[in-house]
């Protein structure tokens, strides 16, 4: 199988590239390195890297040559980032996705796996969240990812393409570097490494569904290998964790005690999130296999190695 992975030098994308390379698939990575890192791809065989933007039609045509499946992970990511720059968000996530779908259609690439987000749901109406939950995104990011889904499902129907949309919940794991707009786990890890208190917005009893990046990579591969399967699927752990509990787990994993500082809730943050993964289990054979406590230990080990490698 020859795969194109957009955003393949990024956090989730590079873990997918590793999985594909380990299984001897040929991989083309397309990434503009706005948030990706070339070191995430070091040591991989059978991987070709193209630096470019998914909004560039000429670059897309080059990257799409001979491809059997497209994994689309390139995106402008984050609810808070999108609130500050909603135009960029839609330019990348909506128009970029549409250009990629069109390029795949012209090249007769039948299998397309789109990385979506639980941000499309907005504030929950019930728990756990299944694929039929109302879609009421309350940030430009959520709107843009939903628009990408809708375009993908339209192409699947109108042009008879096998397209699967994977709705990620809170992904964490190796290659996830600190970003002020990013996942709370990476933010906590950054503060721990600097021996600073962990900042929690609200009372800390809000819940999240944390899923390890290796489980997400496996979900992508299963989606690509599921012949004739189309539609949208949740990809999470199916396990709720409060932010207070997360703060305890991550401090225990490092034996560093920094305490917690509480601040007022932030606009755009949902209170609770929990996935129902029964559809992905039934149709794709997906299971979340990495326990949060063990996953955090492994991630913090990677963080320490990364920090050591980047010290002058």
- Find the CATH number of the domain harbouring 217: 3.40.50.720
Q: Which of 114, 141, 172, 286 is catalytic?
A: 141
Q: How confident is the model at residue 135 (pLDDT cuts 50, 70, 90)?
A: very high
Please report the pLDDT score of residue 268 as a whole number.
Answer: 67
pLDDT in tens, 138-172: 889 999 999 999 999 999 999 999 999 999 999 99
- The yes-or-no verdict on residue 312 having pLDDT over 80 is no
How many structural domains does the chain have?
Answer: 1
Is 267 within the bounds of a domain?
A: no
Is 88 within the bounds of a domain?
A: yes
Is 69 within the bounds of a domain?
A: yes
CB 233 within 8 A of CB 223: yes
- The yes-or-no verdict on residue 288 having pLDDT over 70 is yes
Main-chain dihedrals φ then ψ at residue 275, nearest 5 degrees: -90, 145
Percent of the chain with pLDDT over 70: 97
Is 73 within the bounds of a domain?
A: yes
Structure tokens, 139: 């940030």
Cα distance between residue 121 and residue 142, in whole Å = 8
Cα distance between residue 198 and residue 191, in whole Å = 6
Cα distance between residue 292 and residue 111, in whole Å = 31
Main-chain dihedrals φ then ψ at residue 285, nearest 5 degrees: 80, 25
CB 231 within 8 A of CB 247: no
CB burial of residue 9 (10 Å; 0-12, 13-18, 19+): buried
More confident residue, 271 or 239: 239
pTM confidence score: 0.95
Is 125 within the bounds of a domain?
A: yes
- Per the annotation, the verdict on 299 as an active-site residue is no
pLDDT in tens, 38-91: 999 999 989 999 999 999 999 999 999 999 999 999 998 866 677 777 888 899
Q: At what angle do helices 243-254 and 184-193 cross, to 10 degrees?
A: 40
Please report the pLDDT score of residue 77 as a whole number.
Answer: 82
pLDDT in tens, 83-128: 777 888 899 999 999 999 999 999 999 999 999 999 999 888 999 9
Is 137 within the bounds of a domain?
A: yes
CB 263 within 8 A of CB 203: no
Neighbours of 18 (CB within 10 A): 22
Is 261 within the bounds of a domain?
A: no
Question: Which domain does 141 fall in, by range?
Answer: 2-176+210-236
Q: How confident is the model at residue 293 (pLDDT cuts 50, 70, 90)?
A: very high
Average pLDDT of the residues in 248-270: 91
Is 296 within the bounds of a domain?
A: no
Please report the pLDDT score of residue 308 as a whole number.
Answer: 75
- Average pLDDT of the chain, as a whole number: 94
């Amino acid at each position: 199988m020859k795969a194109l992975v957009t955003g393949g030098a990024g956090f989730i994308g590079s873990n997918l590239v590793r999985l594909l390379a380990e299984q001897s698939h040929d991989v083309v990575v397309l990434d503009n390195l706005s948030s990706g890192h070339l070191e995430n791809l070091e040591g991989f065989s059978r991987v070709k890297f193209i630096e470019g933007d998914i909004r560039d039609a000429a670059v897309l045509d080059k990257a799409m040559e001979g491809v059997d499946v497209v994994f689309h992970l390139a995106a402008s990511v984050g609810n808070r980032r999108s609130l500050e720059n909603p135009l960029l968000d839609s330019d990348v996530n909506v128009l970029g996705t549409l250009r990629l779908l069109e390029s795949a259609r012209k090249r007769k690439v039948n299998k397309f796996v789109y990385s979506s987000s639980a941000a499309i749901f907005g504030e929950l109406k019930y728990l756990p969240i299944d694929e039929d939950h109302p879609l009421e995104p309350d940030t430009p990011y959520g709107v843009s990812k939903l628009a990408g889904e809708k375009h993908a499902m339209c192409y699947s129907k109108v042009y008879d393409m096998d397209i699967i949309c994977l709705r990620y919940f809170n992904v964490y794991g190796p290659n996830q570097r600190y970003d002020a707009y990013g996942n709370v786990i990476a933010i906590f890890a950054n503060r721990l490494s600097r021996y600073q208190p962990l900042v929690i917005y609200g009372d800390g009893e809000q819940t999240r569904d944390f899923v390890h990046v290796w489980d997400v990579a496996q979900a992508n591969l299963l989606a690509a290998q599921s012949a004739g399967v189309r539609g949208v699927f949740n990809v999470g752990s199916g396990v709720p964790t409060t932010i207070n509990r997360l703060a305890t787990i991550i401090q225990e994993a490092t034996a560093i005690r920094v305490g917690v500082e509480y601040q007022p809730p932030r606009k755009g943050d949902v209170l609770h999130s929990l996935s129902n993964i029964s559809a992905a289990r039934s149709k794709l054979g997906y299971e979340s296999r990495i326990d949060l406590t063990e996953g955090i230990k492994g991630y913090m080990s990677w963080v320490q190695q990364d920090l050591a490698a980047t010290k002058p």
